[in-house]
Amino acid sequence: MLTSEKKLNHALRIRISEEYKYLINITVFDSNSRIIESQSSNRYEVSFTLPMGLYTIRIEMNGDIKDEVILLDKEKEYLIGDKKSYTTGNIKIISPPKQFSSALLGETYGSSHEYYTYPAIDWSKKETFQFSQDSNGSNSSLFIFLRFPSVEKFNRFRSTFSKPFYCDFEIVDEYGSILTQFETKSGIEINEQQGWIAFNAKVPNGIYYLLFKGKEPRQIPIYIYKNWHTQFFMTLGNQPLFGTTRVFLSKQREFNPNERTYKYVDILLDKLQNQDFSLDNELINEVANSKFESPMLGLICSYIYLQSKETKSDNLFNIITQNMQNIILKDNEDSPDLRALNIIAANHFPNYKYKKGSIKGTPMLRIGFEAILKASVQNKGLIPQNSINDFVSENIYFDSPFNIFKPIPFKKKQTRKQAKTKRSFSKIEVELLESLDNDGIELTEISSKEKMLLPKSFSHNPKIDKFTTSIKNLFDDSLFSYIRSTNEPDIENSWIKSSIADIIRSKNDMSINDISNDLNVSGNTVTRIFNDWKKEAKKKFGK
């Protein structure tokens, strides 16, 4: 071969700047669109030795792709970063696509406009709403900031709105009692020129809900942790963009757009949504060092690690899981997410125990709800009939890493007489009573140990185990006729109901436990659906 025909090899080095770590993936293609494998094991610094020629550097970030075609005719080095932040020298700077987040997280994010960032900082520190109830000594608050991607997009959207963009929102407590309805403009700050809404109130710890009552109504649980300030962000469009929901927990009652841990929360939420349960050592170390300042980071990272099959950091995450409950989020034992974290930990660690009583409220994160739902197949007391998690099971949406669902009916607040009656029982007795709430049919044989825990005034006479008995022996033919013949939209709009109906249309010799295991939902939910159908069949057939 002639010397002039020889292909000379050159070094190609590509680095990702510090502020874009974890946000960017790099792929290099040759002129035939074939992927070239890096000779470096560090994902933030890749290197190649390649023949002279044309190559494409592909930068992927937040779903956006940017291709940079280069001529490799000598040794070259590239840095992925902001041009204004670096002096070039012999290194060529490639600007990545701008990252988007509903949270306003500094210049790395192209969506963090000053006209949204400054109001968010300002209103995160002061109240828009005076909460009337006693705070129970809790130094906690709820800050909600809703906004559009930009003023330009807001101006394009607003001409299509039939009513002001804020009218369909309201905030309610665990019983559905309204704190504020946005359409009244009471208790909130609104900017109708730039397109943002702010709500801020000191509130007792516990669960609250942001309700959207527009074209596609949704309910979003927000848990307020004692002695922590919850900061909620979401972007709006023609409809709210529920997948953009972001929640942080701050020790200070102030939103800090430069808080470094918030970037990692954003990254981990994207991982959750993409079912990516991989964590590298650098990210794990970041969480281990920052969990006390950012509990949401510790919570989400623990969810991801414990859901994975990894074991190399078991000791660390065992400690993190315990610290989350006993130190970092102390005095918040009723938090549905902490209950769910315990369930996932019990599946990951040997000999790890979790509380099996009913869960008050529902987790903020979908992975937490799914853990409760899966565990409820074997431990039915976790999701009693007609509890919120019973209804979430068939009404959940999957377009967000957060647990967002169709609005569901709220249980009425207890009367003084009911509360007094319940207070006469121990906490474990109350949980057992709730788990036996069956709305019409006996559920299951209870153990002798459980019987001893029940108050003497409680009469429970299970004749047969209704969970294991074939459904054809539990219900009369009118129910099955109703299910086979009905075209009720209620069935078609519920994946659980439609799945049960499909099962029954082909066979009816399965038990409630069989259906529960097949669909991976609580037997109490299956029972509640059968009870609902039984009532409808009675109306239709008069039996």
Look at residue 445 in the predicted model and tell me its pLDDT.
44
Q: What is the pLDDT of residue 349?
A: 93
- Average pLDDT, integer, range 426-442: 48
Predicted confidence at residue 225, as pLDDT, reads 96
Residue 74 has pLDDT above 60, yes or no: yes
At 507, is the pLDDT very low, low, confident or very high (cuts 50, 70, 90)? confident
- Label residue 4 by pLDDT band (50, 70, 90): very low
Q: With 90 as the cut, is the pLDDT of residue 359 above it?
A: yes
| Predicted pLDDT of residue 150 | 94
- At 335, list the tokens: 């938090």
Higher per-residue confidence, 281 vs 384:
384
Q: What is the pLDDT of residue 3?
A: 45
- Which uninterrupted H or E stretch holds 372? helix 366-376
* pLDDT at 455 (0 to 100): 53
Question: Which residues neighbour 14 within 8 Å (Cβ) at sequence distance 6 or greater?
Answer: 26, 28, 45, 46, 47, 57, 77, 78, 79, 80
Quote the pLDDT of residue 2: 44
pLDDT at 447 over 80: no
What lies within 8 Å, CB to CB, of 259 at 6+ separation is 248, 250, 294
Lowest mean pLDDT among 233-237, 271-275, 373-377: 271-275
pLDDT (0 to 100) of residue 439: 40
**Model pLDDT, residue 496:** 92
Domain ranges for the chain: 6-94, 114-258, 259-401, 441-447+457-543
pLDDT digits (tens, 9 = 90+) for 134-163: 656 668 999 999 999 999 999 999 989 999
3-state secondary structure labels for all residues of 449-479: HHHHHCCCCCCCCCCCCCCCCEHHHCCCHHH
Region 298-325: what's the mean pLDDT?
Answer: 94
Residues with Cβ within 8 Å of 117's Cβ and at least 6 positions away in sequence, in order, are 104, 257
What integer pLDDT is reported at residue 111 of this predicted model? 79
Least confident of 101-110, 193-202, 232-241, 257-266: 101-110
**Residue 264: CB partners within 8 Å, gap ≥ 6?**
22, 283, 286, 287, 290, 294, 297, 301
Question: Band of the pLDDT at 437, cuts 50, 70, 90?
Answer: very low
Binned at pLDDT 50, 70 and 90, residue 425 comes out as: low
N- to C-terminal Cα separation, the chain:
94
Return the CATH superfamily for domain 6-94.
Immunoglobulins (2.60.40.10)
pLDDT digits 0-9 by tens, 21-57:
777 888 999 999 899 987 765 667 889 999 999 999 9
Q: Where residue 85 falls among pLDDT bands split at 50, 70, 90?
A: low
Question: Could you please report the per-residue DSSP string of 381-445?
Answer: GGS-TTSHHHHHHHHB--SSSB--B---PPPPPPPHHHHHHHHTS-HHHHHHHHHT--TTS---P
**pLDDT above 80: residue 362:** yes
Q: What is the mean pLDDT of residues 369-385?
A: 95
The predicted pLDDT at position 139 comes to 87
For the chain, percent of residues with pLDDT exceeding 90: 55
How far is 31 from 51, CA to CA, in rounded Å?
11
**Paired strand residues for 11:** 49
The pLDDT assigned to 475 comes to: 85
pLDDT at 429: 54
Q: What is the pLDDT of residue 442?
A: 40
Pairing of strands 189-191, 196-202: antiparallel
What pLDDT is recorded for position 542? 72
Q: What is the mean pLDDT of residues 89-100?
A: 82
Instruction: Name the pLDDT band for 394 (thresholds 50, 70, 90).
Output: very high
Compute the 3-state secondary structure of the chain and give helix, strand, coil in percent, each to the nearest 5: 35, 20, 45
* Contact (Cβ atoms closer than 8 angstroms) between residue 458 and residue 444: no
pLDDT digits (tens, 9 = 90+) for 202-243: 999 999 999 999 999 999 999 999 999 999 999 999 999 999
DSSP code of 293?
A: T
Alpha-carbon 410 to chain mean position: 21
Using DSSP, how many helices (H) and how many strands (E) does the chain show?
A: 17, 17
The band of 414, judged by pLDDT with boundaries at 50, 70 and 90, is low
pLDDT attached to residue 485: 80
pLDDT at residue number 438: 43
Length of the chain: 543
